Each structure stands twice: as C-alpha cells, then as structure tokens.
A and B are shown apart, each in its own frame.
Chain A
Amino acid sequence: MTLKIQIKERRVNYFFFSVATISIASLFMIMMFLFIEGLPIFTKVSVKDFVFGKLWYPTSEPPDFGIFPLIIGSLGVTIFSALMSIPLGVMTAIYLAEIARPGIREVVKPLVELLASLPSVVIGFFGMVVVAPFLQEVFDIPTGLNLCNASLMLAFMSVPTICSISEDAIFSVQKNLKEASLALGATQWETIIRVILPASISGIAAAIILGMSRAIGETMVVLMVAGGAAMIPGSIFDPVRPLPANIAAEMAEAPFGGDHYHALFATGIILFLLTISFNLIADHISHKYRQSGEASL
C-alpha cells in the first residue's frame, strides 16, 4: 500500500471517529444536563420522599414533591396499552408474515406503517373528541379523559411499531426451517408456535421494547387525554398524570432555577431510569429466550 493511500485511509477513519464521538458526546451531555438540573432537588426532599411521596403540590407553601402518583400514572397507561398493543401487534404480524397471501401482505403492511406516521397530536385529538365522549356515555363515568382513554390511544400508537418490526423478524425466519417443520408432519400452527416464533423472539422482543418505549415516553397524547389529575388511580376510569405530561404541562410555569424547576428535571431523571430499566429487562428477556443469532434484528 502506498503512503498516499494510507494517509487517505487514516483520514477517513478519523472522520468517522469524530462523527461518532460528536453524536455520542452530545447525547452524554444532554444526560449530564438532566442530572445537573435535577439532582439539586434532593437537597430539599429525600429520594425516598420524592419517589414514594403521594402528594404533588409543587406551588403550595410548603410545596409537596411526591411523584408516586405520576409514576403509577405512567406505568398504568404503559401497562394497559401494552396489554392491548402486544397481542394485537404480534398477532397481526404473524398473520401478515405467515398466513396472509402475498398480495394482502403487500397492501396491508404499508397501511400499518402509515398508521405509525400519524402525528401524536392527531391521535390525542381523536381521543379527546371521539373516544372521551364515547367512554363517558357507555360507562357512565364523570370524565372520558382517563387512564383507559390514554391507554387506548397509546396502544393505537404502538401497534404499528410492534407489528411492523415483528413482521420483519418473523418474515426473515429462514424458509428452510419452516419446511423442515412441515416435512416432519407439523401443522402450520405448530410450525408458527414451535419454530417460527422462537426463532424470531429476539426481534419480536425488540419490537415490543420499541413500541412500549414509544408509549412510556409519549407526551402529547397523555397530556391531552389522560385527564391530568396527580392522584393514584383507583380504577382504569380514573384520570392520571403520567410523568412526561407533568413535565410538559408545568415546565413553562416553573420559575427558572427554583425548586419546582429542579423537581421537574428530577421527574425527567426518574422517567429516564424507568425507560432504561425497561430496556434492560426486555434485552435480558430477548437474550434468555433467543435460540440463535439468526432472525434477530
């Protein structure tokens, strides 16, 4: 190799190295910022009182910074939406990848992906104007803006993500595994359950993580339809105030550098930790049940 080419190669390497460094460093700096702005609140309130405190009255005198109801609100909407979106998304993916004729798949899959591109404010608007009055009337409850409505809307948002990515994972399972199973006298259903799903489980787990991360971090929808009451819900028809909605609703009115301001950043830290632990769990599950390197994303 001539010297000239070597220098050129090295320059290309440096270029990519610096681009990668910049993007990772900026993400890291955002995280630093989050912690620098959030941690001071813990000089006023203990971590335990902050996380498990049941009252959130940031502007009263003295203020209460307990975000437990908000955490429950976030977990509540995420879990209920997952209960709907995971079965719907994964089963639709199985149908599209394994059962539907190729013609149907080619039409339906882009449609599902199109749903993913609906802006969240549109979904929130739909929840407010259509779903809320419907819930209120059918279940005879004081408000249609509640945990149930928010979960439905979040499920609506995560189904396309879960479906589309799971479908890719299922579809990429090698044809020869499917044939091996069928040739042994397995039915199509047995083949799906025993061979195709296990071989694509890590891809499906990734799809579920992405779908649920979208739900837990989603702000606009929960701000619009969750009801906004910072209380621990007693039923799925109670209004809740998930963490992102809380931050979005109050950040503009919190005085810069004050306790309320720091408390909101600390809320962001908790949300960040929730998302991380969530990803770790899902990652662990996908590794534990992964059968091979194939068909994973």
Chain B
Amino acid sequence: MDSPIKMSTINLDFYYGKFQALQHISLDFARNQVTALIGPSGCGKSTFLRCLNRMNDLILIGRVEGKILLDNEDIYASNVDVVSLRSRIGMVFQKPNPFPKTIFENAAYGLRIKGIKNKNTLSEHVENSLKQSALWNEVKDRLNESALGLSGGQQQRLCIARALAVEPEVLLMDEPCSALDPIATQKIEELIQELKANYTIITVTHNMQQAARISDTTAFFYMGKLIETGNTDIIFTRPRYKETEDYITGRFG
C-alpha cells in the first residue's frame, strides 16, 4: 500500500540572494488530492510551487534549504537527476505558453524528448492526453495547425495535455486560470476534479471561490510563511488564525 503522502516539504527555506522568500515551510501533499495554495501576491506561494519541481534552479541567486520529499526521497539530493525529476512532476503555468508548433507537436513534445519516435505510439499518447484535458473534440480535425491559433482557454488545456502526455505523478499548476474567461475557467476546474483520480495536484490560486470549489486541502501563505493548512471546508468555515480569516473574507490581499 502506498503511503497517503505523495510529496512533502520539511522546513523549506528559499532565498533570493539575501532576501528570504520562504520561511520553514513544512507541508504534506496527499496522494490523489488537490491542494490549493492561497495568499496575497508576493507571499511566496509561486516561489514555493517552483521549488517543488526545481524550476527555481534557474534562478542564479536562488538558494534552497530544508528538504522536499517525493515518495520519501529528497529531490534536492545530489544524486537526483533534475531532468527525470521534472518529467515526474508536471507543471502548468500562469499564462498559457504553447510552443509555436502544431497542436500535435505541442502534445507530443515531452514524448519526443523521451526518445519516442514511433508514429503510432505518439498519436496514441497525444490523443489520450488531449482527451484527458477535454480538448480532443475541439482539435481532432486540426492537429496539424498552429497551437497559437487556439483560444486562451484551449491553449491552457493544450498545455495541460502537454504536461499529462509524459505521465507525471504530480501536477503543479501556477494560477492556471488567471488569464482565462469564466467559461474556460470552469472547464479547467472540472478538468482538475477529473484529473485528481490519477494525479496529485498542487495549484496556486488567487481566487477564493476556486480554491473552495476544487481543493481538498488548502494552505494559506502570508509573508513567506505558512500560516495555516488543513481541510478546505474547515479553512473556509472555521479558520484558526485571524490572518486567514481576514484574507478569505476579503478584508485584505
């Protein structure tokens, strides 16, 4: 039996040069659940998310202390291959960022870099991932057209399909709906609900209702600290701390 905890951070600190952006964050992410990270802008939730797939390695002045465990193994250990780690932890960005390639090539990108060349295998995976991201019916007749011709919501679902195609275990989403209209947002939210059967999902959001609708667990960040975490229903109805209550009721942030 797999442990119910897929991923966890232990006393995680992150520094941009001398500025400490995250302070002692310890947080567990349950398998096949959706965890929402909420908090005002600049509270460190995106920085935290980017530590989880080591995207922050790209920041030259960035420094990580503490531990992040994926299936009980430290992802910052020296023997960890960042490249294979990132194929286990998919990421969807704030702004839809499809490659300027065809729809098919976007979805197939992760597979191609894994060295899969067989046309049938590629088509099969592409179709599956586009179906999973609920985009297949809209694009099946124009797979060879540019992805840039899609609407914003379709582009974002394509980015989700692209991330799913490599079959990650964890899916990180950095405000995936912030650039989308309400209808596209609703589609993505429904999608997240369906995807959690197969993936562990961690999402950053600025939208309180969204966090309440889609997540099982909510973590509230403020000024680089984790203030409170727990079952989403409880956080939104009976928060323990005043900061949390003030934030979710819209008194600041």
Contacts and interface: CB of A to CB of B under 8 A. Distances in A.
A17 to B, nearest CB: 35
Interface string B95-138: 10111110000000110111000000000000000000000000
A285 B95 CA distance: 30
Contacts of B95: 176
A101 B101 CA distance: 29
B183 interface: no
Contact of A291 (B55, B83, B101, B110): B101
B75 interface: no
B86 A179 contact: no
A57 B90 CA distance: 71
Interface residues of A, number: 22
Contacts of B1: none
Contact of B83 (A174, A177, A186, A199): A186
A186 B53 CA distance: 13
Interface stretch (B64-72, B159-167, B217-225): B159-167
Contacts of B23: none
Interface in A162-194: 174, 176-177, 179-187, 190, 194
Interface in A189-209: 190, 194-195, 198-199
Nearest to A186: B113
A196 to B, nearest CB: 10
Contacts of A195: 99
Chain B: interface size category: 20 to 34
B212 interface: no
A106 interface: no
A292 interface: yes
Contacts of A177: 97, 99-100
B110 A176 contact: no
Contacts, number: 72
B87 A185 contact: yes
Contact of B113 (A174, A184, A199, A292): A184
A179 B97 contact: yes
B58 A182 contact: yes
Contacts of A183: 53, 55, 86, 90-91, 93, 163
Given A176-B97, A292-B148, A184 B53 contact: no
Contact of B100 (A102, A190, A199): A199
A265 B98 CA distance: 52
A102 B83 CA distance: 23
Nearest to B95: A176
Contacts of B159: 180
A180 B87 contact: no
B146 interface: yes
Given A185-B83, A185-B114, A186-B113, A180 B100 contact: no
Contact of B86 (A184, A291, A292, A294): A184
Given A180-B159, A182-B55, A185-B166, A198 B83 contact: no
Interface of B: 53, 55, 58, 60, 83-87, 90-91, 93, 95, 97-101, 109-110, 112-114, 146, 148, 159, 162-163, 166
19 contacts: A176-B95, A177-B97, A177-B100, A179-B97, A180-B99, A181-B99, A182-B55, A183-B90, A185-B113, A185-B114, A185-B166, A186-B83, A186-B110, A190-B113, A194-B109, A199-B100, A291-B100, A291-B101, A292-B146
**7 nearest A-B pairs in the assembled complex, by CB-CB distance:** A185-B87, A292-B100, A291-B100, A183-B91, A176-B97, A184-B110, A185-B86
